[in-house]
Amino acid sequence: MPEEEKTQPKPLEFPMSFSKCPACGCPDTIGGQATQEEHAKGTLPKDIRLMVVTASMPLRDMRRQLPGLPVPVVFVHFDVCLQCGCLYCIGAEKKSVSMQAPMGRAPM
């Protein structure tokens, strides 16, 4: 039996964008609809897009990161399909973010 050929994963390329629901193919989302409505009212800048959830993933060991120094972070954005209710990733981006020191306990 021939040895299985191992394939190398492709490096991640940012930004990523997914324009329709993977479950039903609908392009409409709760955040997208809210964004359009707020843009029409003039209450939201045109370069802002609303979404249901954004998760962040630092690409460093944060236990060893000095406060105030920039850290590469991947932000993954999720929204909910208006047709079937599926929560799915609508995009991801990588940014450099300065992390702040956690707040200490207030003196007693």
pLDDT at position 102 is: 63
Q: How far is CA 11 from CA 8, 14, 52, 77, in A?
A: 9, 10, 27, 19
**Residues 59-87: pLDDT tens digits?**
999 888 888 899 999 999 999 999 999 99
Question: How is the beta sheet containing 87-98 ordered, strand by strand?
Answer: 16-17, 87-98, 70-80, 53-58
Domain range annotation of the chain: 16-61+69-98
Parallel, antiparallel or unpaired: strands 70-80 and 16-17: unpaired
**Residues 10-46: pLDDT tens digits?**
898 999 999 999 999 999 999 999 999 999 999 999 9
